[in-house]
Structure 1
Amino acid sequence: MSVFTAPKGIPEYFPPNSAAFLAVREKLVGAARRAGYGYVELPIFEDTTLFARGVGESTDVVTKEMYTFADRGGRSVTLRPEGTAGVMRAVIEHGLDRGQLPVKLYYAGPFFRYERPQAGRYRQLQQVGVEAIGVDDPALDAEVIAIADTGFRDLGLSGYRLEITSLGDASCRPQYRAELQDFLRKLPLDDETRQRAEINPLRVLDDKRPDVRELLADAPLMVDHLSPECREHYEQVKGHLTDLGVKFVENPRMVRGLDYYTKTTFEFVHDGLGAQSGIGGGGRYDGLMAELGGQPLSGVGFGLGVDRTLLACEVEGVTPGDTARCDVFCVPLGDAAKARLVALAGQLRARGVRVDLAYGGKGLKGAMKAADRSGARFALVVGERDLAEGNAQLKELSTGEQRALPLDGAVTGVLRALGGSDT
């Protein structure tokens, strides 16, 4: 018989490790909710043209990494490689930009890129993202960056750094682009890199090869060619970050992998992850909505990698989340005891207590082992003698301490033992 396995390059999360994955995602989205962002659920696949136009046809994402296929109607669709283009499409389609601005949204879920699988680089990657659309305000840029920083700090991470720069806008980037192309044309680049320099010269600055990086040591930098307006915008962003207590370092050579970024651009880097050190990043994208057929409104946002953030937690020895599956594990000894504990479990769950039960007629020894594996704080044991006496035995698994509770008041007794309200 053949044995099925998960597709290559796709991480899976299951108990008890899935508790940490869920905790990472919840901390990251929690910071967004506290800043007034509402949730948007996006399609897993969309029209291929949306990503080609929104992400940039010259990017590696579009040219090399997208999962694109024809559906049964012959339409070209693509599994979403990133979130911003889909959010912008939803904002335009549903008229969210016609109401109060900025439109503040967050999302979470899987995204897909065909890449060579390695630690922290997956074909199905999990992300949390936010987008603030409709207002060009440096304070909003700082808010978005601070949300990401807060999420990482809420998890207990400390070994990362925030790198920021400005990529200018249409008022200054064309002149810089021409100067950079002139510089690159004089270098002994290979044919593929030279072609990239003609299509999107900024992407050449992101080349990781040591010999190419050495050639680029004296390349002109965008941050030195900002217009007065872009310079002022950048200075205000840095000032607001300082006011918010967000530490950062400037990286004038930063180039993000997507074409739509303008002005503020940032990345969170964790050197403990090796080559795949980025745990999140984003920036402003002032022309994207108009490119996708909407109003000429600005936007700013980020995407944070849940998988990589979880790896960063492991590197730092941070354990997010509670791996316990339940608070109370019920151990029935006999059918009559099971009937009583099934009802008690339902009553406790209705009061917000996580409860599991030993199913399948396990004996006391096997059931107590299952209780230990569940991570429960208490075992609630009922046998024939307990039923006759009208009691249940509540055992604290970490200490072995055990006491009797009246069955009629077992719900109140368990709630008190857990430190909760019994009303």
Structure 2
Amino acid sequence: MKLPGYYTSGEFAKMANISVRTVRFYDKQNILKPSYVSPSGSRFYTDRDFARLQQILLLKYLGFSLDDIKEMTINDADYHFMLNSLNLQQKLIKDRIEQLQMVEKAIQDTTEEIRTNHAVNWSHMLNLIHLTNMEKSMKSQYQNSSNISARIHLHNLYSENKQGWFPWLFEQCQLQKNMNVLEIGCGNGALWKENLSLIPEEISITLSDISRGMLRDTQREIGTKDSRFSFRAFDCHKIPYPDQQFDLVIANHVLFYCDIPQVCREVSRVLKPQGHFLCSAYGTQHMIEISRLVQEFDSRIILSAEKLYEKFGKENGAELLSPYFHIVQWKLYEDSLFVDTPEPIIEYILSCHGNQNQYLLDRYKEFRSYVAKKTTAGFHITKEAGVFLCQKS
């Protein structure tokens, strides 16, 4: 017997102008489950399911894969997930436009050369192949950038230190006119975007990252016309600059991902005598309440495959840095978070590098309700971050 306000699979598919097979496929893939399944196995859908289906079809049109859509929370209470995802897609589209413009020029150059010289320049053809393959790496690069933005978002909204991490970090840099500065692992460039008006006019700043996607994103934000900045993608284990080139090298939350001795040797090599190295780190108590929160919900969840502060942190950083720098001093950024709404915490958790999505996405509503209860009266989060200020002898 058909329930009032419910549609059969056939009626539901006809309303959306898709096949019943597609509806069943979305059900099987846990992308769109029916609101009711009868004892005989018949599936029924509601208007709310139809609204969700329209969102799924829109996201497919915009270029998201089914895996992307499954990981996106699509309801009015969590609009920021949709916004972040659409921003990511917009960046990919901009890159796609730039890529197609480069492909068009490469084709024009190759065609003109054949017409003029009656021969094929195979180096141009190889470049064309490289350009057409470039898109494959864009999504993963921008996903990393999106994850960084999610983590910064939580701190920007709820930090009790009103100065903010990046303005404070900028102060520690003590920039002066005519300095030559290098940041390794610049990420989304937030250090510079938030302090752009405070940067001296006569200065040279090189922003680098191993992710070309992040670097393109940062370059768009800062602008290509700002002559103070240059951008270069490379692995910081082998810095492609001559000895004694920079007055200051910055590594903001980078070293715990690296071979620390190798990177320190490279940084020391490219620093001028008396040059400075500024590198940030966490302490053992940093964001510890977040880890406890997810562990209490599901003990299998690990937000990071390794404890980053054990590799390089407040407690062991000086010992790791002292073989390469004459002076090593730790300076703490005094701050904590007080969060009274669940969404930014959930966004932060889903952006981490651990296994959380494996256990949370299929139980999202339950998890959101759990976090909402925890934040009803406000949720305190410890922050224990700072910088090591190092000087080359």
Q: TM-score normalized by structure 1?
A: 0.21
Q: Tell me which protein shows more helix as a share of its residues.
A: 2
Q: Tell me which protein shows more strand as a share of its residues.
A: 1
**Structure possessing the higher radius of gyration over alpha carbons:** 1
Q: Which has the higher contact order (CA 8 A, sep 6+)?
A: 1
Q: TM-score normalized by structure 2?
A: 0.22
